[in-house]
Amino acid sequence: ASGQVPGLAVGIVKDGELVYAKGFGVTELGSDQPVTPDTVFHMGSVAKTPTAVAIMQLVAEGKIDLDAPLTEYLPYFTLADPDLGEVTIRRLLSHTAGMPDPIDWLAEYQDENLPNDEAALDNYVRSLGDQSLTYQPGEDWSYSGTGFDILGDVVAQVSGQTFEDYLQANVLTPLGMENSSYLLSDLDPAQLALPHLLDENGNAKTIDFYPYTRAHAPSGAFYSSINDMARFAIANINQGELDGVRVLPASAYEEMWTPQAASTWAESFGPQVTNYGLGWWVGEFQGHPLIGNYGTEYGFQSHLGLFPNEGMAVIALVNLFDPEAGSFYAYDIGNGIAELLLNAE
């Protein structure tokens, strides 16, 4: 109520089961459409984790080497820097490649002529030639959505499929995530939560655009629900297996969940984001190891926190985010629920 959040969905996983799933509020202000565990939210940067799973699948198949230069898979990739040999797949996955992040998200969302065809991702990656590395690869850490868009292009080029088709066939469908997609056009509009931000008086209002650009699907354009994200959470707590279907070798998690670099975000957001692995934050919460990913987008926030030692996960999704206000309600709610559960007798 204090945050003017129109709608919230919460899921709690324990020991391989979704033990709590509930929606609160509405999908759009002024409507009577309730949020449910099947309501589809924009997941923002949580998109990066299935992208990382896709990369690790191709690593397991011997088609990608984590420590190979990016240009081995995208020979056409260029920046203004002449030597990109130290820009590796591992460094892109861990935000240590020095990759710039030149995206003007708002301008793209409001551009009615923005291309969203199959070539959008590859064309974006090819358009980066006038950009420069922000530091020498491996020498620092900085969050880069662009780095994950580039990884999505690697998935497409190595697999011979579009990024979205590969993720659908190899991650989402095998895990039974029936209402999830990286393609907005594949979703049922009636199931979508709509985005909201705050007006000049601090009151929530529906945004007059829906945040989607196909060029940035791998880093941020992923859509899912509580019921589907619970399946994803269980599969990852099980180290790659769900209902007898294995999407990733268990050995991949030793790589993914090993800290690759200390982040600069812990001072602002707490020990939950102390380190970054490969597509996952690696931290702790009240002394409990925590593996997670967290997203913000114009009008949406998402929280996915896994507590592997407890066999527990907490998922929180809300349909309000205002970048200027900077209130992280999904993160606060997810952490608050985790605190209640971890301290419960």
* Nearest CA-CA partner of 293 in 326, 249, 263, 254: 263
- Helix, strand, coil proportions of the chain in percent (round to 5)? 35, 20, 45
The one catalytic residue among 45, 144, 181, 225: 45
C-alpha distances (whole Å) from 63 to each of 55, 128, 155, 335 are 9, 25, 10, 38
Residue 185, Cβ density class (10 Å: 0-12 exposed, 13-18 middle, ≥19 buried): exposed
247-284 CB burial, b ≥16 within 10 A, e <16: bbeeebbebbbebbbebebeeebeebbbbbbbbbbbbe
- Residue 184 neighbours by CB distance under 10 Å: 19
C-alpha distances (whole Å) from 184 to each of 40, 55, 164, 189 are 11, 22, 10, 9
Confirm if 300 and 291 have CB atoms less than 8 A apart: no
State both tokens at 206. 């529906």
Is 224 considered catalytic here? no
State both tokens at 239. 């180290």
Tokens 């039974």 belong to residue? 176
* Helices marked H in 177-225: 217-220
Question: Half-sphere exposure of 320 toward its Cβ, with a 13 Å CA cutoff?
Answer: 25
Residue 192: CB partners within 8 Å, gap ≥ 6?
Answer: 27, 39, 40, 210, 223
Question: What residue type is assigned to position 42 of the chain?
Answer: H
State both tokens at 171. 């991650």
Question: What residue type is assigned to position 97 of the chain?
Answer: A
Supply the residues annotated as catalytic. 45
